[in-house]
Amino acid sequence: MDAATPSRSPVSSGVITALLSAAGLVVALQTTLVVPLLPDLPELLDVTAGDVGWLITITLLTGAVATPIVSRMADMYGKRRMLVLSLSMMVAGALIAAIGGDYLFVLIGRGLQGFSSSLIR
């Protein structure tokens, strides 16, 4: 190895396992976090109860579509890159849902959060 090539110290498998477990736990909690709020959301967002059901549906639908796509892209471009992309989509979705305050923004945010469920499937 020459002086121009930076050396990387190997990361222990325990650290990797802990980080992946934490990411999976955060994604699983984020996916089911809205379920206890379902009875209160029609009043909070000023929509019907049927519309509130879409907050769960879009998350699951986005996850079902994203899982094979992200898995294939992880094989092509690298697992770490797709892990970071999925977690970034989850954070962006959480920010959009929290800052938007309107039903449409919450729906879009939940859709982006569903993208990250490809990490646990």
Exposure b/e, 46-59, CB count within 10 A at least 16 = b: ebeeeebebbbebb
Q: Tokens standing for 16?
A: 């990797």
Rounded CA separation 121/65 (Å):
12
pTM, rounded to two decimals: 0.81
The predicted-structure confidence for 31-41, as pLDDT tens digits, reads as follows 888 889 889 99
pLDDT value at residue 66? 93
